[in-house]
Amino acid sequence: MINFSDLTFIFRFLPVFLIVYYLTPIEFRKATLLLGSLVFYGFGDLRMLPVLLGAVLVNYFFARALHGSGQNKFLLAFVVFLDVVMLVEFKLLSQFVDSSFMPIGISFFVFKMISFQADLYQGKVKNTPKFIDTAAYFTMFPQVVSGPIMRFSDFERHKENRTILEIFERIEDGLKFFTVGLGMKVLLADHLAMLWNDIGTIGYESISTPLAWLGAVTYSLELYMDFWGYSLMAAGIGVMLGFPFITNFDHPYASLSVSEFYRRWHASLGSWFRDYVYIPLGGSRKGSLRTVFNLLIVWLITGFWHGVTLNFILWGMIIFLIIVCEKYIVQKLPGVLRWLIGKINVLVLIPLTWVIFAIPDSQMLATYFTRLFPFFGAGISVNPNDFAKNVGIYGILIAVGLVLLIPKVYEIFENHRRNIVVTIAVFVLFWACVYSLANAAGNPFMYFRF
């Protein structure tokens, strides 16, 4: 139920919550949001609900102190330290003891808490924060599981929907974003995941080189559709509740460099690192060496944030290297060459970095790369027809995914979403998703067919 692409969420939690939320008098709606979010979290991970509650209370306590203290650096450092220790501790516990020690969404709500404290310190939060508001901001169910890491200033931009028409206009609009996101997740990502899984089943040592590349493309698309879809769903729910639309993905694959890619990919995380790590470290204002060092810190932490295993650190380091090369070499090249290298970096190197992201086992990762670049060794029991077979099965899905990389396609929906044809298309998409989910829900044999 804690998953947006779950029928019980779509047809039970969300409608019930919306009804209760909008029946609540305006001044108490934040309280309804807080309560609903705690119920939502409790359904997902009741055992870890106290962790979330504890983090909320501690952070609120410090926020009050920080707000009245007038830029007390020590206080800020202390509460950020507490938050970081909590996050690191749970990450290590879940990695080395038992994966069930990972409270759902901790990476996201802790980052929200840190940004809140830093914003308070910098005086970006004018009024003394109220407990209900702060707690609702930290825990709000559209964001608690996987972000976006919304800033408190955006939370404050919340507009109360006062009239009935206003309410339904917002619900309609949010529902459209939600549905498009749902489609990306359910119809594309979840099915592309099956191909990536099939490749594992075959064994990386036995895939043909074309299939290895197809796999890299598929995994990249899966990750993108999954996370972009999730972010659209989260933003859509936010819109239904009166929050501004949070753009978390802004057509990253249309970027002309890797650093641009990461401004447009998971943008709320990228800007978090920019505002709360990179710039406080001095950003690019303290000379080249210091800039490189600051980037290194940012990407080390980014890697660690995604996961504790070595591959994530490696992934972060490679992105770091590419970005440094871009900054100090590619930038100085003539226009056409710069454009070309930038495109290659985004469209070829990025998918390869996702392969590193995807495979935690270094031995298996090395095997995968020898299949991508077969000059380093031959495969075992490779079936050369595997590429044609999988293109036959997944070709259409991959093609649809690739078409969605073109910014214009999504923009048509975004700009014409009140158009009747688009509305009907989204309505059909909604039921297509439900159809797919209904045939999979509670039916382990749908996705696990042998």
Q: Provide the minimum distance between the beta carbon of 290 and another protein in the complex, in angstroms, as a whole number.
A: 45
Q: Which is nearer to another protein, 88 or 102 (CB)?
A: 102
Q: Does 197 bind another protein (CB under 8 A)?
A: yes
Q: Provide the minimum distance between the beta carbon of 8 and another protein in the complex, in angstroms, as a whole number.
A: 6
Taking the mean position of all CA atoms in its chain, how far away is CA 168? 28
Q: Which of 344, 399, 409, 438 binds another protein (CB under 8 A)?
A: 438
Burial 193-211 (b: 16+ CB within 10 A, else e): bbbbebbeebebbbbbbeb
Q: Does 26 bind another protein (CB under 8 A)?
A: no
Q: Under rule CB under 8 A, which residues in 143-172 are in contact with another protein? A: 164-165, 168-169, 171-172
**Residue 94, C-beta contacts closer than 8 angstroms, at least 6 positions apart:** 100, 101, 102
SS3 163: coil
Q: Does the active-site annotation cover 67?
A: no
Assess contact for 253 and 405: CB atoms under 8 A.
yes
Rounded CA gap, 37 and 237, in Å? 12
Q: Does 12 bind another protein (CB under 8 A)?
A: yes
Q: Which is nearer to another protein, 81 or 168 (CB)?
A: 168
Q: Does 380 bind another protein (CB under 8 A)?
A: yes
**Number of helices and strands in the chain (H, E):** 22, 0
Burial 163-187 (b: 16+ CB within 10 A, else e): eeeebeebbebbbbbbbbbbbbbbb
Q: Which is nearer to another protein, 51 or 211 (CB)?
A: 211
With contacts defined by CB under 8 A, name the span among 77-85, 129-137, 145-153, 374-382 that binds another protein: 374-382
With contacts defined by CB under 8 A, name the span among 293-301, 330-338, 399-407, 439-447 that binds another protein: 439-447
Q: Which is nearer to another protein, 156 or 205 (CB)?
A: 205
Rounded CA gap, 445 and 414, in Å? 36
Q: Under rule CB under 8 A, which residues in 201-260 are in contact with another protein? A: 201-203, 205-207
Q: Does 277 bind another protein (CB under 8 A)?
A: no
With contacts defined by CB under 8 A, name the span among 53-61, 94-102, 274-282, 434-442 that binds another protein: 434-442
Q: Does 11 bind another protein (CB under 8 A)?
A: yes
Q: Does 42 bind another protein (CB under 8 A)?
A: no
Q: Find tokens 């996705």 and name the residue.
A: 447
Cα distances from 185 to residues 42, 81, 166, 226, 316, in angstroms, run 24, 35, 29, 5, 25
Q: Does 16 bind another protein (CB under 8 A)?
A: no
**423: closest CA among 227, 239, 251, 176?**
176
Q: Which is nearer to another protein, 375 or 445 (CB)?
A: 445
Q: Does 176 bind another protein (CB under 8 A)?
A: yes
Q: Which is nearer to another protein, 200 or 283 (CB)?
A: 200
Contacts 24+ apart (CB under 8 A), 260-267: 260/342, 261/346, 261/350, 262/319, 262/323, 266/147, 266/227, 266/231, 267/148
Q: Find tokens 């039916």 and name the residue.
A: 443
Q: Which of 102, 347, 372, 434 binds another protein (CB under 8 A)?
A: 434
Q: Does 99 bind another protein (CB under 8 A)?
A: no
Q: Which is nearer to another protein, 12 or 159 (CB)?
A: 12
**Residue type for position 239:** V
Q: Which of 42, 200, 244, 283 binds another protein (CB under 8 A)?
A: 200
What is the contact surface with another protein in residues (CB under 8 A)? Answer: 7-8, 11-12, 164-165, 168-169, 171-172, 175-176, 197, 200-203, 205-207, 380-383, 385-386, 389, 420, 423, 426-427, 430-431, 434-435, 438-439, 441-445, 449-450
